[in-house]
Structure 1
Amino acid sequence: MNKKVITFGEIMLRLATPGYKRFSQTDIFAGTFGGGEVNVSVSLANYGIPTAYITRLPDNDIGKSCKETLNECGVDTSHIVFGGERMGIYYLETGAVARGSKVVYDRAHSAFTSMKKGMIDWEEIFQDASWFHWTGITPAISSGATEVLEEALIKANEMGITVSCDVNYRSKLWKEGNKVEEVMPRLIAKTNVLIGNEFDAEKVLGVQSNLPPNVEYSKFTFGLVAKQLMQKYPRLKKVITTRRGTISANHNTWVGILFDGKQVLESATYQMTHIVDRVGGGDALMAGLIYGFINWPNDDQITIDFAVAASFLKHTISGDANDVSVEEVKELMKGNTTGKIDW
C-alpha cells in the first residue's frame, strides 16, 4: 500500500452565485468547501491514494461540518487542529463569453491565518508519509502560516519526503511587508516538484529569464527557464507548467509541459469548448502529477498526459474539487471526448 500524501493549507467556505449571475443580481449563494491543497487531497482520495489534509478550523459548527465533509470524501482529517475566530470565505461570480469570472476574498483573521509554530507535530504526521504538498497561497496569507510551513518543509527534507509546490501566485494576497520575492525562494529551496511558469520564475523566484520583451511563451522558452530554476534550486527534479489559450471565458485550449532536467515533454492539447468551472483546474493537475509520479516513476510522458487529462475533466465539474476516477481520466486519454451518455 502506498504511503500517505500530506497536504497543508487553508480551506475556505466557497459562496458562488448560481449559474452565471453577477453578485449584484443574486440573493442566493451556493456554499461548498474548497482550497488549493485540500482539492489535491480530495482528487487523490478519488484515485485510491491515501491522503491526509492538515489545516486549522474554527471550533464551531461550520468547522465541524467542513471536517465531516472531508471525511466523507475519504480524506484523513485526524491531524486537523481547532481554534481561532472564523473560517475564511471566498465569493465566486462565474463569467461567460467575454466577461471573466471574479473572486472576492474574505479571509482576514481566519483560524488558519492565526496559526503559530508548534501547533502541528510534523514528525508524527510524516511517519507514514511519502509526499508533502503545499502552494504559494499559504505563505502569502500570514507570517504565522509561513513559519508553520517552514517547520513542515524542514522536517520533510530531514525525513526524505518528496515535496511539491504550485507557485499559485495571487497578487491580491501578498501584502506590503510580506514580500513574495523574499519568502518564496527559501521555501522553493526545500522543494522537489514545482508547478510554475516563466512569469513565476522571474517575478517570484528570482530567475532572470533573459527572454526578449513580449516573446510568446512556448515549449522552448519554458525549457530554458526550467533549466535555470533547477540550477538555482538544486532540490528541484521536475518543473511543470500549463498553457491556457483563452478564446472566451467558456472556451479555452489546455496543454501541459514538463521538464525533467534532460528533456521537455508536452501533453496533448485539449479544446475546452464549454467550461463549467475552471476553479481548481491547477489543483486537479497537481493531483494528477502526484498520482503519476507515484505510479509511473519512470514514465514522465504518461504522467503529464494523465495530469492534463484530469485537469481537463475538472473544467467540466462544478465546485473546487475534481470528482473523477482514474478510469474516467484514462478513458479521456484514449481520445474519448464525445461526451456520449454512458448507458
Structure 2
Amino acid sequence: MNKKVITFGEIMLRLATPDYKRFLQSNTFNATYGGGEVNVSVSLANFGIPTAYVTRLPNNDVGKSCKSILNKFGVDTRYIVFGGERLGIYFLETGAVARGSKVVYDRANSAFTGFTKGMIDWNDIFQDACWFHWTGITPAISSGATELLIEALTKANEMGISVSCDVNYRSKLWKENNKVEEVMPALIAKTNVLIGNEFDAGKVLGIQTNLSADAEYSNETFGTVSKLLMEKYPRLEKIITTRRGTISANHNSWMGIMFDGNQVSESSTYQMTHIVDRVGGGDALMAGLIYGFLTYPNNPQKTIDFAVASSFLKHTISGDANDVSVEEVEQLMKGDLGGKIDW
C-alpha cells in the first residue's frame, strides 16, 4: 500500500505521576508525548501503514524533540508547521482500585491554538492520501483549528478520501462560546466512519435518545441510534462504539460493536485484569479499524475483532502510543492470552 493515512490534531507533552502516586505525593513525572490523532498515526506506522501527521509545534527544542520522536516511530512529519510559543501539556494521575485517574490540562495559548485556515495546503497533502482522521478534540481547542479542519474535510470530500472521526467528547475543553452541539454536526456531515456511543449521539450530534452517560446500553440501543445517525448524516457508512465494564480502575472488561448500515458486528469480550495504562485505548481502536478497513474491506467481523484486540493490548503499554505489531494483535485474536515469555 502506497497511499497514506493523514491525521490532524494537537500533540501534547504528557507528565504522569509514577507508580500510581497522587499529584501531591510525587516529586517526579514521567514525560512522553501524546494526543488522540498522533496516537493513531503511531499505531498505523507500527502496523506498516504509511501515515503522516499534521500539527503545529513551537519552534524550540521541545517542539523539535517531539518531531524527532515521531520520525523514530516512522510517522511522516513533513507537513508539521512550526510557530507559536509553547507545547500544550497535560498532567496525568493514574488511579488504582476504587480511585479513578485524573487529568489536568495546561494547553491554553499553545502553538496549536494559533493554527487557522490558509496555513496548510490540503490539496498537496491529500495527493497521495487514502484516509483522513480527526477527533472532536480539535474543534474544541479553538475556532481557528475548527476553520482549518473544515478546509481539510471539504477537500477530502472533494477528492473522495475516506474520513473518520472519534467524537472524543471532553467537557473540560468545550467552552460556553464554543458549544459542541453547534459545531460538531456540520463536521460529522463530512465524515464516513464514526466512533461514538448513544450518549454522544444525544449530547453532541443532535439525536434525541433520552439516554444518560450512565445508562445501560445494548446492541439494540446502539443499532437504533446508529440508524438515526445515518439518516441525519448520509455520508456515514460505519459507526463503532465500545463497551467498558468497570470492576475497578485496574480491572475492566472491553469489547466493541460496529454497525455498517445493515448489520451489527460484535467483537469478543476481553477481561483486562491488570491495566497498565488506559490512555490512548480509543486511539488504538481507531488505528485498528483503519487498518482493518484498508486490509480486509469486505470483512467487518475481522475488522472489529482486530481493532478491539489492538486496543486491548494498548491497555498493557505505558504511554499514549500503542507500540505493538500486526503479528502481536493477530496472536491475541487467536486466543493467546497467556503472556508467555517469547524465548
Name the TM-score class by shorter chain.
Answer: over 0.9
Q: Residue 111 of structure 1 aligns with which residue?
A: 111
Pair 212,203 (structure 1): closer, same or farther in 2 beyond 3 Å: closer
- Tell me how far apart the structure 2 counterparts of residues 41 and 149 of structure 1 sit (CA, whole Å): 17
* Secondary structure in structure 2 of the residue aligned to 1:25: coil
SS in 2 for 1:2: coil
How far apart, in 2, do the equivalents of 1:76 and 1:9 lie?
Answer: 14
Q: How many residues align?
A: 343
Per the alignment, residue 326 of structure 1 pairs with 326
Distance 1:51 1:212, change over 3 A: closer
Residue type of the partner of 2:209? Answer: S
CA-CA distance at 1:19 after TM superposition:
1.2
Q: What is the CA–CA distance in structure 2 between the aligned matches of 1:27 and 1:242, rounded to whole Å? A: 36
Residue pair 2:87, 2:111 contacting (<8 A) in 1 also: yes
**TM score, norm. by length of structure 1:** 0.99
- Contact 2:199 2:211 survives alignment (8 Å): no
1:307 matched to which residue of 2? 307
**Deviation (angstroms), 1:8:** 0.1
Which residue of structure 1 aligns with residue 121 of structure 2?
A: 121
Check conservation: 2:288, 2:307, Cα contact below 8 A.
yes
- Give 1:240's aligned residue: 240
**Deviation of 1:340 (Å):** 1.1
Query: Secondary structure in 1 aligned to 2:111?
Result: coil
For residue 110 of structure 1, what is the amino acid of its counterpart? S
Q: Counterpart of 1:281?
A: 281
Q: Aligned partner of 1:188: which letter?
A: I
CA distance in 2, matches of 1:211, 1:223: 14
Partner residue of 1:20?
Answer: 20
Is the Cα–Cα contact under 8 Å of residues 52 and 77 in structure 2 kept in the other structure? yes
Separation in 1, partners of 2:55, 2:215: 40
Q: Deviations over 1:141-175 (max 9, x none)?
A: 00011000000000000000000000000000001
Q: Residues 5-44 of structure 1 correspond to what in structure 2 (within 5 A)?
A: 5-44=5-44
| Structure 2 contact 52–76 (Cα < 8 Å) conserved | yes
Residue 112 of structure 1 aligns to a residue whose secondary structure is helix
Q: How does 1:10-159 map to 2 (within 5 A)?
A: 10-159=10-159
Superposition deviation, residue 210 in structure 1: 5.3
Q: Secondary structure at the match of 1:113?
A: helix
Q: Secondary structure at the match of 2:90?
A: strand
1:168 aligns with 2:168: yes
- Once residues 288 and 295 of structure 1 are traced to their aligned partners in structure 2, the CA distance between those partners, rounded to angstroms, is 10
Looking at structure 2, the residues matched to 293 and 213 of structure 1 have their Cα atoms a distance apart, in angstroms, of 29
Q: After superposition, what is the alpha-carbon deviation per residue over 1:214-235, rounded to whole angstroms, capped at 9, x for unaligned?
A: 8520111100000100000000
Cα 1:13–1:214 shift into 2, 3 Å: closer
1:195 corresponds in structure 2 to 195
CA distance in 1, matches of 2:301, 2:250: 28
Residue 231 (structure 1) aligns with: 231
* Structure-2 change in CA distance of 1:334 and 1:91 (3 Å): same
Assess, with a 3 A threshold, how the Cα gap between structure 1 residues 211 and 32 changes in structure 2: closer, same or farther. closer
Corresponding letter in the other structure for 1:148:
L
- State the Cα distance separating 1:209 from its structure 2 match: 2.2
What CA deviation, in whole Å up to 9, does each residue of 1:268-325 have, x standing for no partner?
Answer: 0000000000000000000000000000110000000000000000000000000000
**What secondary structure is seen at the aligned counterpart in 2 of 1:24?**
coil
Gaps of 5+ in 1: none
Distance 2:215 2:77 in 1: 45
2:221 maps to which residue?
221
Counterpart CA distance in 2 for 1:212 and 1:258 is 21
